[in-house]
Amino acid sequence: MIEIWWARLSTQPIDRAWIDDLNSVERERLAAYQRVEDQDRFLLGCTIVRRLLAGRQQLPPARIAIDRTCADCGRPHGKVRAQGAELSISHSGDLVGVAFHPTTPVGLDVELINPGLDAVALARVSLAPAETEELLKADDQAAAFTTYWTRKEAVVKATGDGIGADLTKLEVSPPDQPAALLSWPGHDGPIQLLDIESAPNHRAALAALTDKEIEAVNREAAELLRS
């Protein structure tokens, strides 16, 4: 079972004392965010990861070793890695989510639907031709594009490719059908995909590198953040 721990910015009090638990890389990243809500999302992601693993490893949150080294450039903005855990962080709009499994690599993506987005322009750089065709038929193109986007991002976050992957080559199922990876030429290995219930006007998807059908459970991070 993959756990997804969610916090909502609109209701979650932010405790600046959480910063004491961050490592120097996380503090530098936090300080670099200009907007308070970006700082809050980042701090929440860090804190949920630390507290989740602290409970499992019987260590204080500050003692959890976290590595965010980017596989492409070596800077500390990559997939979050820790011993004994596979993790994926995503933040957008009101939500911060952390997917966790002890052994199976996971990828989580959540996005707030931006009703003003230019779906056709974005499709050109991120959708496969068959996906663009479906998008053009959709009543709500912003919502349809966001569903496509979260499904694809979940996949490339599970593999660790991130924005390095050419999303036009990775084809997923249409938004009105259950999430599935249809094709991704050049990629080896099993990948499962699932839509995740999140919040109104948001879309979320979870991918995992496994051939078994995946199951996920949504958990409230509020409890974790109180302890």
Binding-site ranges for ligand COA (CB under 6 A): 42, 45, 68, 70, 72-73, 77-80, 88-91, 109, 153, 157, 160, 162-163
Q: Shortest distance, CB of residue 78 to Zn ion, whole angstroms? A: 6
109 interface partner picked from Zn ion, ligand COA, none, CB below 5 to 8 A per type: ligand COA
Angle at 182 between CA 96 and CA 116, to 5 degrees: 45
The minimum distance between CB 69 and Zn ion, in angstroms, equals 9
- DSSP structural state of residue 157: H
- Residues numbered 52 to 111 that lie near Zn ion (CB under 5 A) are 70, 72-73, 75
Q: Binders of Zn ion among 181-200, rule CB under 5 A? A: none
Q: What count of residues does the chain have? A: 227
State which residue has the least CB distance to ligand COA: 162
* C-beta of 89 vs 193, nearer to ligand COA: 89
Nearer to ligand COA, 68 or 151 (CB): 68
Strands (DSSP E) contained in 44-116 are: 81-82, 85-92, 95-101, 106-112
How far apart CA 166 and CA 124 sit, in angstroms, is 12
Q: Does 220 bind Zn ion (CB under 5 A)?
A: no
Closer of 70 and 199 to Zn ion (Cβ): 70
- Cβ neighbours for 65, distance < 8 A, ≥ 6 positions apart: 82, 83
Give the number of other CB atoms < 10 A from CB of residue 161: 19
**Rounded-to-integer distance, Cα 43 and Cα 27, Å:** 9
130 binds Zn ion (CB under 5 A): no
